[in-house]
Each structure stands twice: as C-alpha cells, then as structure tokens.
Amino acid sequence: MPYGLRKSPNKELYWVFNKETGHKFSKLPLPKERALAQRRAIYASQNRSMRGGGKSPKSKKKSPTKKSPRISSRFYFERQKSLKCAIHAINNIVRNDPQSAYRRSFKVIDKKEPGNEKTFNIKTICEELKKTELEKYKHLSKKEFRKKEKSFECKSSGDYNYDVVEEVLNKMELKIEDLTHMREEDLSALKTYGETTPNFLGFFVQQAAHYVAVLVRENKVWLLDSLNDREKQLKSVKDLGDLNLIWAIIDEDEERTDEEN
C-alpha cells in the first residue's frame, strides 16, 4: 500500500498519509525527518504482518528474536510498531528501572495476552476511560459529542492521546510531575532533577505527535526513541525537537524500590 508525505500549510511539517484512502497516520504534522522515520516504521510493520502469507515453508521461518524484548547495549529498548509510540515510551521507562526488579516486570500491552497485576492493557484502559469521560458530555449536541468521541478513539494501530497515557500510569500507581515548563531549560536542569529526585524512573516526552522516553543514567541523559534503532545520548534539549509535554515519572511506593521485591 503506498504511503506519502503531505506538507502542512505554511509550515515545514508533514503528515504520513495513505495515498489510496487519504488517511493520516498522526493527528499533528511532524518534522520531515520524523515523518520519514514514521513512514519507514509503517512499511516495516506492514511487511512483518505480510510475512508467511502464501510463501514457501522456507520463508515462514520465524526469527528467534521477533517477539523478544529488544535489548540494546545499555537498555531495554522497544522499536516502533505501527503507531504505538506511547506503549514503547512507557515500557522503555519502567522496564529500565535501576532500583526495582518488580517495576522492571511491568509491561504495557494492547492485545489479548495472559494478564496479571504487572501487565496493563492500554486498549482496555482506553475503552474504560472513553466510557467514563463521554458520560460527562451527553448534554452536548450530536456534532459536539462526536468531536469529543473522536478524541478518545482507541485504535488497534495505537495513536493514543496523553489522557490515556496518564490513566495507564495511574493504573501502575506511578506519580506524574508535569515539567513541561522546563522545555526551555538547559539539559543540565533535567539531569539534575533526575539525579536528585528519589525513585525517579524517567521522563515521558511528547514531541509534536510522537512520544519518547528520556532516561538519566551514568551522569548522562539518554533518548530512547522507538523510531530509532537504539538509545542516543543527548547533548542539548534542542536534540529533542519541538516539545509539547515533559512528564517526570516517579514511584513513591517505598516497598517497590527493594531489588529483592
């Protein structure tokens, strides 16, 4: 299926869209480099889903690492599938927690898997949140209600808004501290925060329509962007691009910080 880039009016920003249906793959346009990376991820995801269909037995062979966690040289790292950057960003934060094996076993999923108290299905959480939130808007006109309904679409492809992300983190019993005001600060401000805040796990960051994880480890600040192949050391806040959101993720439950839990 052909995918192209559509330029936003009067801006150097782009949407990835389906040339046959016109469907856009993000709500907001992205910088060109990021839009190209998103298009590559969509093609790669489509190619993975098509493997084995009508092929010879040889081509049906599964790669042993296909469903395994991506482990980089330093960190657990999930690469992009479809539009599931919110899932990847959360997992790239909690599953890299240096203080607790218990939290490292947390996992966000979006499909039917055997669940437990450490597995959080973002699609189910989205549907529950949508039902609760829409109850508040029943008094609106059909047109206005539909607008609200669309903002809570729980698509299998991903593309979840930050309200859903917040609910997932709440289900994990993790504290969110909004540090969006620090987006104009020097990188050292984020590093100092990460090094001095007890039980700090990482930063959940929104760049335009894309979510990434930022970790503070080994006296350095690391970007875990699922559109990349691996982690990248940050030298400046500008390396993060246009920031819409910076959330510090903290676990205040002291009982979950013991490595033996």
d(CA 66, CA 48): 9
* Domain count for the chain: 2
HSE, CB side, 13 Å, CA atoms: give it for residue 183: 15
* Same domain, residue pair 198 and 94: yes
For residue range 10-24, list pLDDT tens digits in order: 778 888 888 777 777
Residue 153 forms part of a structural domain: yes
pLDDT at residue 133, as a whole number: 85
By percentage, how much of the chain surpasses pLDDT 90? 34
Residue 168 forms part of a structural domain: yes
* Same domain, residue pair 121 and 199: yes
pLDDT at residue 116, as a whole number: 66
- pTM summary value: 0.73
Residue 64 forms part of a structural domain: no
* Same domain, residue pair 48 and 163: no
Please state the three-class secondary structure of 105-151 as a single string: CCEEECCCCCCCCCEEEHHHHHHHHHHHHHHHHCCCCHHHHHHHHHC
Residue 194 forms part of a structural domain: yes
Residue 76 forms part of a structural domain: no
Range of the domain at 49: 3-53
Of the pLDDT bands very low, low, confident and very high (cuts 50, 70, 90), residue 73 is low
* Same domain, residue pair 20 and 136: no
Average pLDDT over residues 29-53: 65
For residue range 164-200, list pLDDT tens digits in order: 999 999 999 999 999 998 888 889 999 999 999 999 9
